[in-house]
Amino acid sequence: MSPTVPFLDLTGMTSAVRDSVFASWSELVADNRFVGGQVIEDFESRWAAYCQTPFAVGVANGTDALELVLRALDIGPGDEVVIPANSFVATAEAVALTGATPRFADVDPDTLLMTADCLDEAITARTTAAIAVHLYGQLADMDALVAVAQRHGIHLIEDAVFGGMQQFASLRKLCARFLKLLECTLAGDGFNTPHACGNAALIDDLQ
Ligand SMILES: Cc1ncc(COP(=O)(O)O)c(C=O)c1O
């Protein structure tokens, strides 16, 4: 008899958090707290502290987080935002939602990440921002990307929606050092998202 391998089986992951998630969910339902409230405020302050940044804003999904960050930087019609050509459609969508134009940069053939050279080549006179996307468990080389962004005087945003927890330790160091804005997703706080992820826009120097 041949064994049956289920196409999708997340039980190994979900069983580890099931009891605490269900207990929190029961409390939220009992309190009728579906938007905002103490739970979200706690999440925002704890996440900001973890990332060593003054503010974290809880949002419904990664696309909203990216759009919020872009709007906080006054990105809109007439602006071009460089993004890696192979990112998930939401990165470009968030740019388009602000009225700005996504400009696609090439990526490194080995890592499939946008490098400093790729960013440099894609920047035009209309470019006001770029979004580095951490993909496939790898961090983009932020030191090199920041150097290019600073040389051109453009904003640099990180899309870490595809990132795993192993990346956040590095991300928070980056954030403490030079990030204006960082957008990320993490497990938990996700009752209002389709794939049970919480999201936060992290802002460390919003005036
Ligand atoms: C790289 C990247 N950015 C942004 C998003 C958008 O996140 P959400 O689906 O939570 O809006 C995704 C979603 O998969 C993504 O992979």
CATH code of residue 112: 3.40.640.10
Q: Which of 199, 181, 179, 180 is nearest to 189 (CA)?
A: 199
Please report whether residue 171 resides in a domain: yes
Q: By alpha-carbon position, which residue is closest to atom 7 of ligand 1?
A: 62
Number of domain units in the chain: 1
Please report whether residue 40 resides in a domain: no
Give the pLDDT of residue 190.
32
Please report whether residue 35 resides in a domain: no
Q: Model confidence over 132-156: pLDDT tens digits?
A: 988 887 888 888 998 999 899 998 8
Give the pLDDT of residue 27.
82
**Angle of CA points 91, 94, 98, to nearest 5°:** 145
Residue 1 has pLDDT above 80, yes or no: no
The rounded Å distance from CA 162 to ligand 1 centre is 7
Give the pLDDT of residue 201.
53
Please report whether residue 34 resides in a domain: no
Which of 95, 97, 162 most suits a substitution to test ligand 1, by most atoms within 8 Å of the C-beta? 162
The backbone torsions φ and ψ at residue 157, rounded to the nearest 5 degrees and listed phi first, read -115, 145
Higher per-residue pLDDT: 61 or 128? 128
User: Range of 180's domain?
Assistant: 45-203
pTM value is 0.78
